[in-house]
Amino acid sequence: GASPDPVPGGGVKQRDLTTRPTRPPRTMAAAKDGELLVLILSNGMPFSDVAAVIESLKNSSKGIGTHSRRELYWQAYTKLAAKTSGMDGQAHCFLLYKTSADGEGV
């Protein structure tokens, strides 16, 4: 951290942080209606467990914002769970679901 400014004759001058210009907080750009990106990382979890986790995420999405936003999550988790539920072995992968005004994909 920065050290306080020295004051002639000894002592320390305190910096007044209230007078410094501040930047607005960094925020993610607000998603437009109909846009969603879901990224899930698995490093060796069995596919059956991955599907169960996705179903759990789907159930927990019931409390998300607006009805239309919840529907986007519900659709994403439904499609991701469907893709992973029939797979065998260990999942060492990224699962990506993206929907936008142009379309959707898993």
Res 67 pLDDT > 90 = no
CA distance 83 to 75: 12
Are the CB atoms for 85 and 18 separated by under 8 Å?
no
Q: Mean pLDDT lowest for which of 1-5, 41-45, 94-98?
A: 1-5
Of residues 29 and 70, more confidently modeled: 70
What is the model's pTM? 0.62
| CA–CA gap between residue 4 and residue 47 (Å, rounded) | 56
Q: What is the structure's pLDDT at 31?
A: 53
Q: Which of 91, 93, 61 is nearest to 76 (CA)?
A: 61
pLDDT of residue 104: 60
Q: How far apart are CA 35 and CA 19, in angstroms?
A: 40
pLDDT digits (tens, 9 = 90+) for 6-64: 555 554 444 444 444 444 443 334 456 678 899 999 999 999 999 999 999 999 988 88
Instruction: Kindly state the tokens that stand for 51.
Output: 């599907």
Residue 15: the pLDDT is 45
